[in-house]
Amino acid sequence: MSGSVTTIIWYLGTAMELAFVVCSIARKSFFRYFFLNLYFLLALGFSVARKLALSTFGLRSAEYYYAYFYTDALLTLALYVALISLYAHVFGELRFGKYLRLIAVLLLLGTALFTYAVVAQSTDRLSTNFAYELSQNLYFVGLVLTYILWGAVLKLRETRTRVVQFVLSLGLYFSAYAASYALLNLASRYSIVYFIAPMFGCLLPLSWTVTMWRYSEDSRLVPAQLVAVPR
Amino acid sequence: MMAALIFVFSVATLLMFFVSYCRSLMAASSRHTLSREVRDVTGIPASASGRDFERVMQLLRLCPERPDDRTGLQAVGIYYGILNVVEKTVAALVPSVHMWAEQERAGCANFAIVLLDRRIAFSREILAQQGEF
């Protein structure tokens, strides 16, 4: 039962990722949102690589273990780059893109060094634990950065519907993922919690695809209507 | 303890992003000018109230679905459900929350009316295409 549920979620997620790339090519926005597309292309490639590793070496093999955690760390990095590219879209007109990239690289290196320092003290399986911990820490950094970006969207009165909805979908994704990881720690005896994170994984490509398909680049909205409580 | 803290923080941000996401969906459809047909069908002359949402949803179910508005409608439907819970609990004690929730529910109803208008136009297009053959 759990195997078939996992397979259905895997197929759904892969189809959604492919749909986003196809949709952005059809809407002639592939290069405008290149890093979002790159993330999904990598996700597609890694999904296939993981399936191959699983069918060749088996679930409990070291090869599958390494393939899973290293592709996961690389994907988290790619999502981090996609998030920074959204920062570049929002702050693009303010001419401090150069500083933005520098801060992003410093933050990434800082997270990697912090993770290395924590893992090096406590484990004998440094490499896989490092990949796992780096993913977790980058998810948390991602959530905080998305929260800050949302604040900037409101402050700068961003009107582009696509950019606004991409940022919000990413915020939803990071929050849901962080919540599901915490739930996994709190209630690991319930089998349903193991399916929550992969299910949320399908929502990001779904909402991005809907946004890409439904709205054109020229589509605008009224920024004041985004604030839940008017000031 | 740490996991519980992260859980509470992430659920709070999840809720905040979800509310903003639904508001962005509603804001994106707010510039749509309603046709006379949809005003006649719903009996709503200018702007809807929160109570109209369920009635408009019933009308929406009678029209052929447009594939690209399903996700948005589901999200706003969940938001409307959350607002109903707020209305029955917190809003009963705090009048300002009651006013805010009612305003948001009206926004949900307006979003649904815009979708109804689009679905009516979509049905007309389908009928026109069938008439050509």
Res A228: pLDDT: 62
Q: What confidence category does residue A45 fall into, taking pLDDT thresholds of 50, 70 and 90?
A: very high
Counting runs of H as helices and runs of E as strands, what totals does chain B give?
5, 0
CATH 1.20.1070 holds for A2-222: yes
pTM of the shown model:
0.84
> What is the dihedral sign for C-alpha B56, B58, B63, B64?
positive
Q: Is A175 on the interface with B (CB under 8 A)?
A: yes
Indicate if the pLDDT at residue A223 is higher than 90: no
Both tokens assigned to B67: 């594939």
B-proximal residues of A, 109-168, CB under 8 Å: 140, 143, 147, 150, 161, 164-165, 168
pLDDT in tens, B71-120: 889 999 999 999 999 988 887 788 888 888 998 999 999 999 999 998 88
Both tokens assigned to A88: 């570049």
Angstroms from A137 CA to nearest CA on chain B: 12
Res A25: pLDDT: 95
Cα A30 from Cα A12, distance rounded (Å): 22
pLDDT in tens, A160-194: 999 999 999 999 998 888 888 778 777 777 777 77
- So where are chain A's domains? 2-222
Residues A52-64, mean pLDDT to the nearest whole number = 87
- Could you tell me which residue, A126 or A48, shows the higher pLDDT? A48
Q: Is B24 on the interface with A (CB under 8 A)?
A: yes
User: Which residues, 6 or more positions from A101, have their beta carbon under 8 angstroms from its beta carbon?
Assistant: A84, A88
Indicate if the pLDDT at residue A118 is higher than 80: no
Residues of chain A neighbouring B27 (CB-CB closer than 8 A): 221-222, 225-226
A-proximal residues of B, 46-85, CB under 8 Å: 68-69, 71-72
Indicate if the pLDDT at residue A42 is higher than 90: yes
